[in-house]
Amino acid sequence: MKFGKEFASQMVPEWQEAYMDYNYLKSLLKDIQRFKQRNKSPAGATSASLLKRKMSLYRAFSGLTQRHHGVKISPNREDNNIDHQDHVILVKAAQGEGSEGCYRTDFCKLSDEGGEYELVFLRRLDDELNKVNKFCRSKTEGMLKEAAMLNKQMEAFIAFRIKVEKPTLSLGLDETAEISRLASDVATSAATVTASSPSGARRTTTAAARHMDVIEEAEASNRGSSSEELVEVEETADIISQTKIIHHVIHKKKPNSIVKANRPAPLDVLNQVKIINPLESPVSMLKGVIKLSKGSELNFRKRELKRIQEQLKRVFVEFYHKLRLLKSYSFINLLAFSKIMKKFDKVTSRSASGAYMKVLDNSYLGNSDEVSKLMERVEATFIKHFANSNRSRGMNILRPKAKPERHRVTFSVGYLSGCVTALIVAIAIIIRLRHIIEKKEGTQYMDNMFPLYSLFGFIFLHMVMYAGNIHFWTRYRVNYSFIFGLKQGTELGYREVLLLAFGLAVLALGTVISNLDMEMDQETKDYGNSELLPLGLVILLLVIAFCPFNIIYRSSRFFLLRCAFHCLCAPLYKVTLPDFFLADQLTSQVQAIRSLQFYLCYYIWGDYKHRRNACKQSEIYKVFLYIVAVIPYWCRCLQCIRRWIEEKDRMQGYNALKYFSTVLAVVMRTAYSLSEGMTWRIMAVATSIVSAIVSTYWDLVFDWGLLQRRSKNPWLRDKLLISRQGVYFGAMILNVLLRFAWLQTVLPLKVPFLHREALVAIFASLEIIRRGIWNFFRLENEHLNNVGKYRAFKSVPLPFSYDEDEDRDE
């Protein structure tokens, strides 16, 4: 693989603009190369130069010329090369305010032919170096500040743990308090990380503190999988030994050489902190609203300790992931600068790469080791406090292995897709040979059995569209796993989603063939127990979805169930992107939800053995037709209201009005389908037109970010992931057309060869296809917004909040 493709594949998608523009620099080198080729003399040289070359050749053979004629030879060959390079370029630090860490290259061969092309390249190279340096410095400073914050969180956590496990430790005389202080110092030594002031200066520690850090890190690395009892014994031994050191130092009257005089006792930290209410349940959310406070008092219970430990564990894992990405960013950019300078030397026949790379090695990008040190400290802290001093276990959590590609998944997808095709052909042949459509029993089958099986068709189609979305998101480097907040290593690829979809299709089509019988049993005068097959399949799906065992992608199943529960409980949960994204998916599955309603009516109140039901004559069933159709839109409306209140975003209020207009349109269309009155038709058409226009405009402008008049891509965005602009215009036109698919519910549309239920299923499928197209462009726009703000990491809430007054005093 060429380095350009490797460089692009190693990029953090949200940081693409911050990387060195390798392709553009290559294009500048191609301009230099084309200029040299254009100005190359025909036939290699003029007659005079040919004569000169011949004379030089004769002299070379006669030994009259020296090999290094015209070049000062240094005894040190490396110094000779550097002297020669210094005659090509001179790289120096830029002067002036705000130019810290910036470099400027002076080109010493500007008078040479084509020198202006080389100067353009070197100027752009300086811009790229300064951009990368600035970005790396800003991100590193942000990491150092976050590390200092995590250090305070660890101090509070360890004090909290001591209070829970040894509540009597804080009671006693000064000696006990001093021992407690030393215990906390020893425990937090591994958590002490390098922090920076606003000016970038590092905080220094005493020599004794650094010595303690080394001891702690060595213990964390070599301890292995020791038990909790052994760790406790070792910590106790550390406390005793450090107490002796303190007494020795006190007698020598040098207390500040070990412990800072202004450092508070470790358990006193608990007087300055409160537990942040995570608002993870409706009850906790209501309590937070009633109390109107950011935190709650400390509750020293083991259950609370376990929750805080798991929360801090997630924080450290995410922080370590940030450090790894930043380290990879520095390395791949250094390699890119090295590659491009070698190409420059090759194209221009100069020797400038050595001098430039020497300056680059001394720059912040090449010389800073703060990220590496932070990674070592985070590893030591995590292994000690969150992995029971088991290094292999801790590193497996911090560095989860990439999910390997499994050929059996691809094989299974191909096999199941072939089975689906064979089953569809078999069903078509059976229907044709038995003339099922022409029979009276065929109409009865469509009225009763088809709505049951259409549920699986809607789910299958949605999963196929989602698999297609994943494929194209991956192809165009949309970081969907980060945007959805999926746990690293557990996200499903498009093959896994297709495997589930085709597996469901095989089961559904198999049950269709099993009871595709149009004749009753002559003995029992019914269709037998085969009528329970659709219900059995629904129960099987529910069992798989809620199965607690680690099978069939448990992490993804529980993530889906959690998001669905948040949608149903809106607005009692804080709205995240996965929550409202799933709610949008449910708005396109109204017909599938109505199929679930039909299941309950058909198997509880209907005569399923004789394929008869009176659902549409039941008033209760009619009322639930309204409720079921409105639930997805109403949940989405409540989510928008919650975001409007929390984020003070006026656009979320308008979005809530959009969904409320859709609720009105759905209610009017349902009323018209049940009553068939002219008044209901007029109201259904009016509300549906308003809702369709508003929703279409919102899709294109806000969700997709298109229809921008002043964009450099007319009526599109400034940044597009797909190079062919026609794809966007085609998607916009298709979205408008499919948005008006509701017309079939208010128009007397009849197709002679299609049953009414089949026609409803077709238009419901069109809405699912529209939603699948919407998904890609919606997430593309979200991805580009993240890129614009360089947001590449999840925001994990911290468990403790420090008193603001204390922070100001510090």
For residue range 123-164, what is the model confidence (pLDDT) as tens digits?
Answer: 999 999 999 999 999 999 999 999 999 998 998 898 888 888
Are 684 and 668 in contact, with CB atoms under 8 Å apart?
yes
pLDDT attached to residue 437: 78
Cα(405)–Cα(740) distance, rounded to whole angstroms? 41
The string of pLDDT tens digits covering residues 465-504 is 999 999 999 999 998 998 998 887 788 999 999 999 999 9
**Residue bearing the bigger pLDDT, 214 or 708:** 708
Compute the half-sphere exposure of residue 134: CA atoms within 13 Å on the CB side of its CA.
14
pLDDT confidence band for 91 (50 / 70 / 90):
confident
Mean pLDDT throughout 353-374? 89
483 CB-contact burial (10 Å; exposed 0-12 / middle 13-18 / buried 19+): buried
pLDDT at position 132? 94
In the predicted model, is pLDDT for residue 90 greater than 60?
A: yes
Judged against a pLDDT cut of 80, whether residue 616 lies above it is answered with yes
> At 177, is the secondary structure helix, strand, or coil?
helix
Q: Hey, what amino acid is at 722? A: I
pLDDT band, very low/low/confident/very high, at 742 (cuts 50, 70, 90)? confident
Instruction: Name the pLDDT band for 281 (thresholds 50, 70, 90).
Output: low
**Given this model, what pLDDT does residue 763 score?**
93
Enumerate residues 6+ apart whose C-beta is below 8 A from 615. 598, 601, 602, 605, 606, 621
Q: Which of 192-206, 590-604, 795-809 has the lowest mean pLDDT?
A: 192-206
Q: What is the pLDDT of residue 202?
A: 40
Please state which of the ranges 426-430, 696-700, 799-803 shows the lowest mean pLDDT.
799-803
Tokens found for residue 108: 């010493």
**Per-residue pLDDT, 46:** 45
Most confident of 107-111, 293-297, 339-343: 339-343
Across the range 743-761, mean pLDDT stands at 83
Does 189 have pLDDT greater than 50?
no
Place of tokens 């090295």: 338
pLDDT score for 304: 86
User: What does the pLDDT read at residue 736?
Assistant: 95
Residue 71 or 709, more confident: 709
Cβ atoms 144, 196 nearer than 8 A: yes
Residue 764 has pLDDT above 90, yes or no: yes
| pLDDT given for residue 519 in this prediction | 75
Using the predicted structure, report yes or no on whether residue 180 has a pLDDT greater than 50: no
Report the C-alpha gap between 493 and 113 in whole angstroms: 54
State how far the Cα of 555 lies from the Cα of 561, in Å rounded to an integer: 10
The pLDDT of residue 564 is 96
Mean pLDDT of 295-314: 81
Longest Cα separation, the chain: 118
**One-letter amino acid for residue 639 of the chain:** Q
Q: Give me 128's structure tokens.
A: 């790229």
Average pLDDT over residues 579-591: 96
H or E segment and range at residue 106: strand 103-107
Q: What is the pLDDT of residue 277?
A: 66
CA 577 to chain centre: 11
Q: Which amino acid makes up residue 770?
A: R
Of the candidate ranges 39-53, 447-461, 653-667, 683-697, the one whose mean pLDDT is the lowest: 39-53
Q: Distance between CA atoms of 792 and 13, rounded to whole angstroms?
A: 8
CA distance 651 to 657: 10
Measure the CA–CA gap between 326 and 23, rounded to whole angstroms: 21
DSSP per residue over 578-640, as a string?
HHHHHHHHHHT-HHHHHHHHHHHHHHHTSBGGGTB--GGG-HHHHHHHHHHHHHHHHHHHHHH
Which are the contacts of 641, defined by CB distance < 8 A and separation ≥ 6?
571, 652, 653, 656
User: Does residue 805 have a pLDDT over 80?
Assistant: no
C-alpha to C-alpha distance for 421 and 609, rounded to whole angstroms: 30
Dihedral angle, C-alpha 586, 589, 591, 592, nearest 10 °: -90
Cβ atoms within 10 Å of 441's Cβ, excluding its own: 15
Give me the count of residues in the chain: 810
In this model, does residue 264 exceed pLDDT 80?
Answer: no
H/E element, 786: helix 756-789
Contact call for residues 606 and 598 (beta carbons, < 8 A): no
Q: Tell me what pLDDT residue 4 has.
A: 87
Would you place residue 706 in the very low, low, confident or very high pLDDT band (cuts 50, 70, 90)? very high
Cross-strand bridge partners of residue 93: 103
Q: What is the pLDDT of residue 788?
A: 67
Residue 282's pLDDT is 66
- Mean pLDDT for 518-528 is 75
Q: Which pLDDT score is estimated for 280?
A: 58
Task: Please provide the distance, in angstroms rounded to a whole number, between the alpha carbons at the two ends of the chain.
Answer: 53
> Which residues lie across from 612 on neighbouring strands?
607
The helix or strand, by DSSP H or E, that contains position 78, with its residue range, turns out to be helix 77-86
What does DSSP assign to residue 402? P
pLDDT exceeds cutoff 80 at 384: yes
Which residue from 417, 582, 560, 561 is spatially nearest to 498, judged by alpha carbons?
A: 417
pLDDT, residue 808, reads: 42
**Which of 164-168, 259-263, 466-470, 781-785 is predicted least confidently?**
259-263
pLDDT for 534 beyond 60: yes
Question: Which among 112, 91, 103 has a CA at the least distance from the CA of 352?
Answer: 91
Is the Cβ–Cβ distance between 806 and 264 less than 8 Å? no
More confident residue, 129 or 803: 129
Q: Map tokens 């305070």 to a residue.
A: 152
User: Mapping DSSP to helix (H, G, I), strand (E, B) and coil, where does residue 667 land?
Assistant: helix
Averaged pLDDT for residues 563-590: 94
Tokens 């801090």: give the residue. 312
Higher pLDDT residue, 644 or 303? 644
Higher-confidence residue of 635 and 241: namely: 635
Q: Is residue 623 scored above 60 in pLDDT? A: yes
C-beta neighbour count of 306 within 10 angstroms: 11
Using a pLDDT cut of 90, give the percent of the chain over it.
46
Residue 440 pLDDT more than 50? yes
Q: What is the pLDDT of residue 636?
A: 96
Residue 303: pLDDT over 60: yes
For residue 296, the surrounding DSSP H or E stretch is: strand 295-296
Query: Cα-flanking dihedrals φ and ψ of residue 512, to 5°?
Result: -65, -45
Residue 402 scores a pLDDT above 90: no
Which range has the worst mean pLDDT, 40-49, 65-74, 608-617? 65-74
Q: What is the pTM of this model?
A: 0.79
Residue 466 CA to residue 448 CA, distance in Å, equals: 29
**Residues with Cβ within 8 Å of residue 236, at least 6 apart in sequence:** none
- pLDDT surpassing 50 at residue 393: yes
Single-letter amino acid code for the residue at 470 = I
